[in-house]
Copies of this chain bind each other. A is one copy, B any other.
Amino acid sequence: MSGTNSGLFTTPAMAVIFSAQAHVRHMLTFEAALARAEARAGIIPAEAAAAIAGQCHVERFDVNALYQEAALAGTPVIPLVRMLTERLPENARQFVHSGATSQDAIDTAMVLQMRLGLEQLIDNLLTICERCAELAVQHRHNVMAGRTLLQQALPITFGLKAARWLALAARQVRMLRDCGNHSLCLQFGGAAGTLAALGTAGIRVGELLAEELSLPLPDLPWHAERDRVAAVAAAVGICAGSMAKLAGDIILLSQTEVAEITEAAVPGKGGSSAMVQKRNPVDAVSAIASSRLALAAVPLLFSSLTSEHERAAGGWQAEWVAVPDLFCHAAGAVAHVADAIRGLVVDSARMSANLELGGGLLMAESLTTALAARIGRLNARPLVQQICNHARLAGLSLKQAALTHPQIAGILAAAEIRNALDPAAYLGVSDILIDRALTAYHEIKGATERQ
């Protein structure tokens, strides 16, 4: 993926985890662990296992040649086993890949890669959490417009928005961690899932192999039941999609007409080939692109649930490309959001000023609530409606219209009206929600670190 447009929408670290080289490395890890497990189970000689494990280093393999051959064979394991066998002394050769099938090697390698991939995503999500937690605390009292259907609705604080971003990102940490714990496990079943070539030793070899790889042993081999892969795909996809929520908010808040936040200025970033003034929210935009690319892999991985009999004819093979694509682009989404948030410039004065746009009509609910306490909500609502309409037609602010409205003066004192129209006085439980998000995050962070 490096050196192409794909590189814009992933991270170098994740690209390494899912590189061809890494794929071969992890298949070799499987082969080495298998040999050791079989030696421990007394199925193959210890020296053979040692010889095999001693050759299982990706640096000794011509990865490009391997994949060239794989394109004909239809699987990378056939050339891998051949190449590995050729490197061995005569007496160890027959013990390579013993009792296993290519799917065992490919699936387990993929599981090992996914384990690393989830760790990467979690690390980067925690960076986002940390920064969002700071923003939540820092902007706890900075009032801004809450917007529904992209219309100003009610005041909120930027701290609350950041807290919601935090809670969302923190939940992804937990979801990815739980998903890894539940869904990543050894695949080992032999050619048709019975481990027949190992006779009665199959169970014992499986246990030792799981131990060698520090992977949980599943109830059954899962060669043709891909619900675990789909579950990982879903979790990573939801993580990627959640990043688009943050990125989308950033882009919307960065609009020239809103201008409440700006991505940090970095030389060489966010400019335009035509317009010198541009400060494009380039990380957020790349996060959106990355997120969409990641999400495109999810339905494909769900469709692989339909695996025919004991090994799928097409669906499984598509996973070999879709899983790397999913993780790489999800990493791009997380990393770009992390970058966007890292240096985020927040203009709280502009947030405040924007509350006046639309004549401050977003305080209508607050005014209704204040009036309702005196005249009931059924009377208050049409009255405020009338004031809003008047304000709109006369080009007044809600405050002007309310303070001069003949009827309202008999109900609320001017100070009460002013108070009802003060955004900072109408924030409900924002503060408590921020605390909750911080607490939840610290729990998740703690649990993740303990693991």
Contacts and interface: CB of A to CB of B under 8 A. Distances in A.
Given A167-B220, A220-B433, A227-B238, 16 more contacts: A2-B67, A3-B63, A8-B317, A73-B268, A78-B268, A102-B274, A194-B428, A197-B365, A197-B369, A203-B429, A220-B437, A238-B302, A285-B313, A286-B314, A293-B300, A298-B302
Contacts of A81: 273
A286 to B, nearest CB: 6
Nearest to A316: B289
A213 interface: no
Interface stretch (A32-40, A375-383, A404-412): A375-383
Q: What 6 A-B pairs have minimum CB-CB distances, sorted nearest first?
A: A288-B314, A146-B192, A241-B305, A234-B234, A148-B311, A196-B428
Interface residues of A, number: 179
A8 B256 CA distance: 33
Interface stretch (A114-122, A123-131, A168-176): A168-176
Nearest to A310: B146
A318 B343 CA distance: 24
Interface in A345-374: 354, 357-358, 361-362, 364-366, 368-369, 372
A272 interface: yes
A247 interface: yes
A275 interface: yes
A191 B280 CA distance: 13
A310 B362 CA distance: 13
A276 B384 contact: yes
A451 interface: no
28 contacts: A3-B63, A4-B67, A5-B23, A5-B70, A9-B321, A78-B268, A146-B193, A147-B256, A149-B278, A150-B313, A154-B192, A155-B194, A194-B426, A197-B428, A199-B428, A238-B305, A242-B305, A255-B258, A276-B365, A276-B381, A276-B384, A286-B317, A288-B306, A288-B315, A289-B320, A292-B314, A296-B322, A298-B298
Given A20-B5, A71-B8, A219-B436, A242 B255 contact: no
A186 interface: no
A58 interface: no
Given A9-B321, A234-B238, A296-B296, A220 B436 contact: yes
Contacts of A156: 192-194, 310
Nearest to A281: B149
Contacts of A325: 325
A191 B153 contact: yes
Contact of A388 (B269, B276, B303, B318): B276
A168 B302 contact: no
